[in-house]
Amino acid sequence: MINEFKNHSGRRQLKRRDSIRAVLFENFDEYLTGIIHEWLKRLTVWGFTLVPIFFILDYFIMPEEILLRFGMYRFISTVVLIAQFFIILHTKVNKWTYLHGHLISLNIAGIIVLMTIDLGGFNSSYYAGLNLVIIAVNLLLPWSPIHSVLNCVIIIALYLAFNIFAGHKNRRRENSPVNRRCK
């Protein structure tokens, strides 16, 4: 009889401990998603600030023929980032919040990939911007490792696919990377 009481009591304590763990992990996941949501606001602000600022670099390095195109890429990306900021600002935290991080990466990496195509595909040094996107998003957002890996794979696959399908056309001018505006 005493052994039955001990077993029954142990099961009750085990169930109680498991239910406490479940509540703690559920609350922690909500807490972590809230942090991701807050950092997404900061990430979009940094994005819509830095993307147009890097046009200064384009001005000094890019040939005049493609400067307007790069300006349009950066303008469209900035507008999308500003819209995404207001969407994040006016939405509540939910289980799909992390998707905004992937969209931010895809947006900025997309324009960088287009720029690499315009600058000669795999011969372009603009691919370095993709590294900055990967590092910034994966370090600033406290999301799970699977999202970090997925983010990297999407960006690298985007870069490879677009540059392979573009045919590696080398449109770079002989006097690049420094354009005549710097002389």
- Which of 83-92, 103-112, 151-160, 173-182 has the weakest average pLDDT? 173-182
- Percent of the chain clearing pLDDT 90 (strictly above): 54
What residue ranges do the domains of the chain occupy? Answer: 34-182
Looking at residue 25, its pLDDT comes to 61
- Report the SS3 class of residue 144: coil
**Of residues 152 and 9, more confidently modeled:** 152
Average pLDDT of the segment spanning 95-109 = 92
- Mean pLDDT over all residues of the chain? 83
Specify the amino acid at residue 40: L
Average pLDDT over residues 41-49: 95
At 110 the pLDDT is 96
pLDDT score of 172 more than 70: no
Higher-confidence position of 128 and 19: 128
How far is CA 35 from each of CA 39, 45, 52, 76, 125, rounded to the nearest angstrom? 6, 16, 27, 28, 34
Considering only residues 140 and 45, tell me which one the structure prediction assigns the higher pLDDT: 45
pTM for this prediction: 0.76
Confidence of residue 85 (pLDDT cuts 50, 70, 90): very high
Contact 41, 85 (CB under 8 A): yes
**Which pLDDT value is given to residue 5?**
46
Q: Does pLDDT of 4 surpass 70? A: no
Q: What is the average pLDDT across 161-166? A: 92
pLDDT of residue 174: 44
Alpha-helix residue ranges (DSSP H) falling in the chain:
2-53, 55-61, 64-89, 99-118, 128-140, 145-165
Where is pLDDT greater, at 3 or 97? 97
Residue 53's contacts (CB-CB under 8 Å, 6 or more residues apart) are: none
